[in-house]
Amino acid sequence: MRFRRLSLTGFKSFVEPAELRIEPGLTGVVGPNGCGKSNLLEALRWVMGEGSPKSLRGGGMEDVIFAGTASRPARDFAEVSLLIDRGPEGDSEVTRRIERGAGSAYRIDGRDVRQKDVALLFADAATGAHSPALVSQGRIGAMIAARPAERRQMLEEAAGIAGLHVRRKDAETR
C-alpha cells in the first residue's frame, strides 16, 4: 500500500482546503515552529481511524476542527481524505469527517463504512493510526516508558498481525 495524496479541510490549522501529494520515496515536511508539520501527521493518523483525542494533542475529538483565530471564525466540520494505492486492487480514497455535535463518519470510495472497516484496511497493510512507522514527537520516550501490554501492541502492529485482533473482536461480538 502506498499513500498518494492527503487532502484536508478545516483540520486543526488547515482551515482552507489543502492537498499534499506524496510521491514515491522520502517525503520531508519542513517549516518554522507552529506552521503545522505535526498537524499533517496527525491528519494522517486521524483519517486512518485514530480514536484517542489525547494522541492528537486534544482534550476531545472535536478539537481537531479549526477553532478560529482573532481574524477567522471557527469551522463546524473537519474533513481529511487519503488516497491510497492498493496495488492490484487499484486506488481507493478513505475519508473521515467530523461535525460539531455529530461525531465522525468514514467513507471508502464514497461508501459509508464503519471505523472498523477503515482500521482493517490499514491493519492488513501493517500501517494504521498506531503504526510504528509513524513516529510523532515524544513517541520514543513513550515507547521506553510503555507498560508491557502497550509495548506488545506496538510490536504486533510492527509484525502486521494487528488485523487479526480486530477480526477476532469482530467475530466475538457477532
> Which residues contribute to the site for Mg ion (CB under 5 A)?
37-38
Distance of closest approach, residue 43 Cβ to ligand ATP, in angstroms: 10
For the sheet with 103-108, list strands across it.
18-21, 2-9, 77-85, 91-99, 103-108, 111-113
Q: Taking CB under 6 A as the rule, does residue 115 contact ligand ATP?
A: no
Looking at beta carbons only, is 45 or 97 nearer to Mg ion?
45
Distance CA 5, CA 138 (A): 26
Residue with the three cell numbers 501492541: 153
Stretch that binds ligand ATP, among 35-43, 98-106, 138-146, 147-155 (CB under 6 A): 35-43
Is 32 annotated as belonging to a binding site?
yes
Joined together, the cell numbers standing for residue 158 give 510492527
Q: Which listed residue (24, 28, 34, 88) binds ligand ATP by CB under 6 A?
A: 34
Distance of closest approach, residue 67 Cβ to ligand ATP, in angstroms: 4
Own/partner pairs for 28-36, CB < 8 Å, 24+ apart?
A: 36/12
Distance CA 85, CA 40 (A): 19
Residue 49 interacts with which of Mg ion, ligand ATP, none, CB < 5 to 8 Å by class? none
Site for ligand ATP, rule CB under 6 A:
12-13, 31, 33-39, 63, 65-67
